[in-house]
């Protein structure tokens, strides 16, 4: 059985915001498009474009703001001590 090849750990700073932006923009654009149009055939025609535009904004935004968010979270959350330290 072949194991799934994984990207090296150095890609985490790109892959994490990529996956996060895809999932979050999909959820938010579905909700906002459904609220605007309802569950109609127009929804199915409109949602992919709404999602794509949202993702085009969200992904680069996450690349820029995630380092700042990590610093803010580090200021607000205590890190538990590591065992053996």
Using DSSP's 3-state secondary structure scheme, residue 85 falls into coil
Helices (H), the chain: 12-37, 41-76
* Spatial CA neighbour of 66 closest among 11, 7, 13: 13
Q: What is the mean pLDDT of the chain?
A: 92
Give me 83's structure tokens.
């065992």
Spatial contact of 83 and 38, defined as CB atoms under 8 Å apart: no
Half-sphere exposure of 43 (CA within 13 A, CB side): 12
For residue 2, pLDDT over 90 is answered with no
pLDDT in tens, 18-42: 999 999 999 999 999 999 999 999 9
Has this prediction a pTM greater than 0.95? Answer: no
């Amino acid at each position: 059985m072949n194991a799934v090849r994984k990207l090296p750990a150095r890609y985490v700073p790109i892959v994490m915001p990529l996956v996060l932006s895809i999932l979050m923009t999909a959820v938010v654009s579905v909700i906002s498009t459904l609220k605007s149009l309802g569950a109609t055939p127009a929804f199915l025609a409109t949602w992919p474009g709404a999602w794509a535009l949202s993702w085009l904004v969200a992904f680069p935004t996450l690349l820029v703001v995630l380092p700042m968010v990590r610093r803010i979270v580090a200021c607000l959350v205590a890190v538990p001590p590591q065992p053996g330290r």
